[in-house]
Amino acid sequence: MIERKSAREVEKMIQAGELVAQIHRDLRKLVKPGVTTAELDRFVEKEMKQAGATPAQKGYQGYEFATCASVNDEICHGFPRKASLKEGDIVTVDFVLDYEGGLADSAWTYEIGEVSREIRQLNDVTKEALYRGIRAAKAGNRTGDIGAAIQNFVEPFGYGIVREFAGHGIGPTIHEEPNIPHYGQSGRGIRLKEGMAITIEPMINTGGWRAKMDSNGWTARTRDGSLSTQFEHTLIITDGEPIITTEQDA
């Protein structure tokens, strides 16, 4: 059963999304050589609390942190830690915020200082892939239309699209149906309806798509050691353009 949100739930999700967007804007200034992901995690949690929100990831299925912070070849669910980020690194900071029962989930890859041209292109392609997926996410379309829009754009660059993790329905819990793969065939999958809330969050690798799991049981990294980036928004489906609750440029 896929939930369609009430007007009140949508309102709460939009408020949650605005808070997430503001925290990401604030992070931009902090993510510099020398900072640690543990510091970023503390900053995000503090900002959430000051806004009267809570970190929905903390305690979720035993996950212990407010954020996931995935560096370089880490795909997702990296643990915040005490090592400093270095010039040329990339870090994906991903978090879910709960504001009075409304959830918002957004991941963003940050470049540490100057990064290589290769990394800049990977980031640009992944972000564009997210927005192409978003444009396909309207009532009447199917989940496969989102996946196909992303796959058709990304694969000509020779990049790998992570398959083990997907976008998802969101609210009342972090992960709800439907599952939204970032590859697929148009016209296939679940039909999108007005009022559904979903995430789109492509994870794209410079190398192959395959992932391996770290011994911590959470963190996924590329099997071939290639670099991985991710951009994620939370959306509300309408019969036109979806509402991007976590848009930072609004």
User: By three-state DSSP, how is residue 76 classified?
Assistant: strand
CA distance 33 to 90: 10
Residue 175 marked as a ligand binder: yes
Q: Nearer Cβ to Co ion, position 74 or 105?
A: 105
Q: Which range, of 13-21, 68-76, 98-106, 146-154, touches Co ion by CB under 5 A?
A: 98-106
Residue 19 near ligand MF3 by CB under 6 A:
no
Determine, following the binding rule CB under 6 A, whether residue 96 of this chain makes contact with ligand MF3: yes
Question: Of the listed pieces 44-52, 105-113, 122-130, 205-213, which binds Co ion according to CB under 5 A?
Answer: 105-113
Candidate residues 89, 105, 145, 176; the one interacting with Co ion per rule CB under 5 A: 105
Q: Which does 57 bind (CB under 5 to 8 A by kind): ligand MF3, Co ion, none?
A: ligand MF3
Tell me: is residue 24 an annotated ligand-binding position: no
Angle formed at CA 235 by CA 202 and CA 167, multiple of 5 degrees? 30
Q: Total residues contacting ligand MF3 (rule CB under 6 A)?
A: 12
Kindly write out the interface string for residues 177-216 of this chain, putting x where it contacts ligand MF3 by CB under 6 A and - elsewhere: ----------------------x-x---------------
Q: Write down the number of H helices and E strands in the chain.
A: 4, 15
Burial code of 31-62, b = ≥16 C-beta within 10 A, e = fewer? beeebebbbbbebbbebbeebebbbbbbeeee
C-beta of 144 vs 167, nearer to Co ion = 167
Name every residue whose Cβ is closer than 8 Å to that of residue 54 and which is 6 or more positions away in sequence: 48, 97, 98
Q: Of 55-63, 85-93, 154-162, 204-212, which part binds ligand MF3 (CB under 6 A)? A: 55-63
> Which structure tokens are listed for 207?
């190398």
Residues 91 and 111: their CA atoms lie apart, in Å, by 7
